[in-house]
Structures are given as C-alpha cells and as structure tokens.
C-alpha cells in the first residue's frame, strides 16, 4: 500500500509540474526603481532623441515612450523556446498616433508602438499599432541586409487609443505563417516607437510583457 501511495504521489507531482503554465516576464516596470530604466534593457536609437521613462498610468506601472520626429526603443536579449512558450502577452496604450503613419509606405513607416521579436535565424516578427493599415494585415517590410522583417498589425487607428489594451499572440504560429517553417528560438525583443518619417509626435505606454506557455 505504501508503494502504491508513493507512486501516486510522484505521479501527482509530475502531472502538476507539466500542468503548471510556464512564463518568462521580460518587462515588469513595477520592480524598477523610480527614475531608472530596466537594467537588463538597452536603449537603441535610430534617429533623434529618445524620451523614455518609468511611470504609473491608471495605477499601472509602465514604460512611457514619446517620439518627437525620432526613432528609438529598448532592447533585451532572451533565449525562449517557442515550442514550450509560444505565446507573447503584453499590455500597451497609445495616446498619440503619427496621423499619416502607414507601415506599407516607406516614406510614412511610423508607429506609436511596436513589439519586435528576433529569432535565431535573423528573422523578425514585428507587432505594431499602426495609424492607418487595417488590423490583421501581415506584410514583409524588411529593408535591412541579411535580416527579414514581417510586420503584423495588432491595432489600427485611434478607436482604442487612450486605454490599456491587452494582447496575446502565438509567436510560433505567426512565424510559421510569415516564413513557412517552424520557429527557432527567440533571441531578442525590442519595444519601439518612431515618428521621424512623418516628422510628427507619437506617444505610448507599455505594461507587463511576457512569454507564456498558454494564452491569456
């Protein structure tokens, strides 16, 4: 009887481990000291002057980005197996869109908020809040040698601006849809904003960002 109980206990523990959702939180502004930026993220500037701060908005600890004719972001190296944690979840809020921004046109390729996922094979899937391109649009936007970028429009226009929006994307499925093969490991993530092409102002906020084994 003792052996049976022992085996059942072990089995229960094994099942519990496999049943517990996995998660890697890559951005949690709540644990960042006031006046500082997340220590494990690096500022990347493409154009102009970055304006990034940690704040609390609607009682949500968050990262604030404001672009005045600029292009910049925060980048972090990761190592995530998309077969184990295929879902990317995040919260964002846009308060000012570049009015004529549209990723489908190089001269107007500005967005108030982007989340870029870099894979081990130098391919990127970029989730964007575009000003004009319809939600659900997926197109190749690569202009960097040896790097391929496919953008996915998660939100479009100002209909849901000025409020927190939660997103959940299956990055493994999006990668396969974009590139026609199984996704390799995720090696990096970037949160970005830009308004240099349209010479305008854009503003956004980001809450928690995480890779998960289950959707939210």
Q: Would the pLDDT of 10 be above 90?
A: no
Where is average pLDDT lowest: 9-18, 94-103, 194-203? 9-18
Q: Would the pLDDT of 130 be above 90?
A: yes
Residue 15 included in any domain: no
Domains of the chain: total:
1
Residue 205 included in any domain: yes
pLDDT at 191: 97
pLDDT at 126: 97
Query: Cβ(113)–Cβ(129) under 8 Å?
Result: yes
pLDDT at 3: 55
pLDDT at 144: 67
Query: Cβ(98)–Cβ(115) under 8 Å?
Result: no
Q: What is the CA radius of gyration of the chain?
A: 19
Residue 204 included in any domain: yes
CATH of the domain at 37: 2.60.120.260
Split at pLDDT 50, 70, 90, the class of 150 is: very high
Give the contacts of 197 (CB within 8 A, at least 6 positions apart). 101, 106, 107, 108, 109, 110
Split at pLDDT 50, 70, 90, the class of 32 is: confident
Residue 188 included in any domain: yes
Q: If you ran DSSP here, which 8-state letter would residue 81 be given?
A: -
Averaged confidence pLDDT in the chain: 88
Beta bridge partners of 93: 205
Q: Where in the sequence is the domain holding 49, given as residue range(s)? A: 22-212
Residue 198 included in any domain: yes
Residue range 28-41: average pLDDT? 79
Residue 39 included in any domain: yes
Residue range 148-157: average pLDDT? 96
């Amino acid at each position: 009887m003792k052996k049976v109980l022992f085996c059942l206990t072990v089995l229960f523990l094994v099942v519990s481990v496999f049943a517990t959702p996995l998660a890697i939180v890559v951005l949690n502004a709540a644990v960042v000291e006031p006046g500082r930026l997340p220590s494990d993220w690096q500022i990347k500037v493409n154009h102009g002057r970055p304006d990034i701060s940690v704040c609390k908005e609607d009682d949500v600890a968050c990262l604030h980005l404001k672009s005045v004719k600029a292009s910049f972001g925060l980048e972090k190296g990761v190592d995530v197996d998309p077969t184990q944690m295929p879902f990317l979840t995040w919260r964002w809020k846009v308060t000012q869109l570049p009015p004529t921004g549209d990723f489908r046109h190089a001269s107007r390729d500005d967005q108030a908020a982007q989340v870029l996922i870099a894979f081990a094979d130098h391919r990127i899937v970029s989730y964007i809040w575009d000003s004009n391109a319809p939600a659900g649009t997926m197109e190749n936007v690569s202009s960097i040698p040896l790097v391929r970028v496919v953008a996915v429009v998660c939100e479009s226009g100002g209909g849901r601006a000025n409020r927190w929006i939660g997103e959940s994307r299956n990055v493994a499925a999006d990668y396969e849809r974009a590139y026609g093969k199984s996704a390799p490991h995720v090696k990096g993530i970037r949160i970005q904003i830009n308004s240099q092409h349209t010479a305008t102002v854009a503003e956004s906020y980001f809450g928690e960002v995480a890779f998960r084994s289950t959707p939210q």
